[in-house]
Amino acid sequence: MSPVTTRILATGAYLPERVVPNEALTQFPAATLPLIAEKTGISARRYAADDESTSDLGAKAARRCLERGGVSPDEIDVIILATSSPDRIQPATATRVQELIGARKAYAFDVGSVCSGAVFALHMADALIRSGGARRVLVVASELYSRSHLNPRDFSTCACLGDGAGALLLGPGEPGTGILGSRLHTDGAGADLIQVPAGGTMLPYERMERKQDAFFLMRGKDVQDFVTTHGTAVVNELLAELGVDRRDLAFVVPHQANITVLQELAERLAIDFSKFVVTLDRYGNTAGASVLIAFDDLVTSGRVKSGELVALVVFGGGLSWAATLIRI
């Protein structure tokens, strides 16, 4: 009997209808607005509607994914939701996604690893399918920073982040196809570099002395150094482990941090930047959802062909970083 591997059966994504171009960020001086596209590569982002929550975005991406895969919600065994902007502290946001899509036979839980969360969730789904613990797993990554985490006066973060969700439907496949392998890493010594300081047990809101502690904070230069160093290393590590030459990669789908980071990552990996999938110009940095949104964009565009190799590489709070290699 051939060993079971994990195949990607379908992809899906949802971007809110409200488009927010750089020119709409009028809380910042007009002279600074051209710098957003120049420094980050972002021309616009999407913001959720007032009646949309993180689970709503995730459910809409999940429905599109299931429709493309021709799979009923009742056939789903597990829902794994990656998010760093949950509906509520509890319960898991995945439980509301389960209810919204009608996947009543599935169990559902969240993964919190910030911008690396989608690949962490993908690795867990792969393990469940390979072990025989599940046949149909729905991985969803959904983020809504515009309402919960963004300081509207912080140019370094507000100008970059947007809302959106992506989804993958996974099931058993033949050896040599689908997910070939993953590598995951965490370094808790850098936990303070990317954070929302208040709202948990370390700093409850009622003990908060600075308003900005309720918002997303990032030490940009330190994070950029971490991303380019560790993002490069984890891709090299994965390719070496699987015996794959970087020249055989058809595409690289990275976390959509900013254009400078992605260009430096491509240079360090010695991979032509034309192979990098970039959606941040249209959608901004959608945190943990960005890699699945970009992967859906690649698949639905028809650019990637059956049998081609695609690497996903992510990096985020924790500090965390990871890579997955997929044969389409």
Q: What domains are defined for the chain?
A: 5-174 (3.40.47.10), 179-327 (3.40.47.10)
Burial of residue 246 (CB within 10 Å: 0-12, 13-18, 19+) is middle
Choose the catalytic residue: 115, 149, 158, 258: 115
Radius of gyration (C-alpha) of the chain in whole angstroms = 19
Tokens of 67: 């429709």
Let me know if 255 is a catalytic residue: yes
User: What is the structure's pLDDT at 1?
Assistant: 46
The type of residue at 139 is V
The type of residue at 12 is G
Tokens of 24: 């709409």
Choose the catalytic residue: 22, 149, 255, 258: 255
- Cα 18 from Cα 37, distance rounded (Å): 19
| Positions in the chain whose pLDDT score sits under 50 | 1
Among 255, 230, 86, smallest CA distance to 160 is for 255
DSSP 276: B
User: What is the structure's pLDDT at 191?
Assistant: 84
Cβ(249)–Cβ(271) below 8 Å:
yes
Question: 106 to each of 96, 165, 167, 178, 208, how far by Cα in Å?
Answer: 12, 20, 16, 22, 39
Choose the catalytic residue: 22, 65, 230, 285: 285
Average pLDDT, the chain: 94
- Cα 4 from Cα 269, distance rounded (Å): 31
Cβ(256)–Cβ(286) below 8 Å:
yes
134-174 residue pLDDT tens: 999 999 999 999 988 888 888 888 999 999 999 999 999 98
Measure the CA dihedral 273/277/279/280, to 10°: -50
What is the model's pTM? Answer: 0.95
Rounded-to-5 percentages of helix, strand, coil across the chain: 40, 25, 35
Let me know if 115 is a catalytic residue: yes
Tokens of 263: 């260009």
- Cα 150 from Cα 203, distance rounded (Å): 18
User: What is the structure's pLDDT at 116?
Assistant: 96
List the beta bridge partners of residue 195: 217
